[in-house]
Amino acid sequence: MKIKEIKLNKFKRFTDLTITELPETAKLVILVGPNGWWEDFRF
């Protein structure tokens, strides 16, 4: 599965964020956040 874009809408401090510049050749995408950040995060 390839991630083409990431959208965050009304999540914590992000009201509307879209990340679309992920290179096609990327083999690995790493999302980093503070401790406990992933508790409310869903793909």
Alpha carbon of 30 to those of 18, 24, 35: distances in Å?
A: 16, 15, 15
The answer to whether the CB of 7 falls within 8 A of the CB of 20 is no
| Cα 7 to Cα 14: distance, rounded to the nearest angstrom | 10
How many folded domains does the chain comprise?
Answer: 1
The pLDDT of residue 37: 63
The parent domain of residue 28 ranges over 1-42
* pLDDT tens digits for range 15-37: 888 988 878 787 776 777 777 66
**Token digits for 14?**
């992000």
| Whether the Cβ atoms of residue 22 and residue 5 lie closer than 8 Å to each other | yes
pLDDT score recorded for residue 15: 86
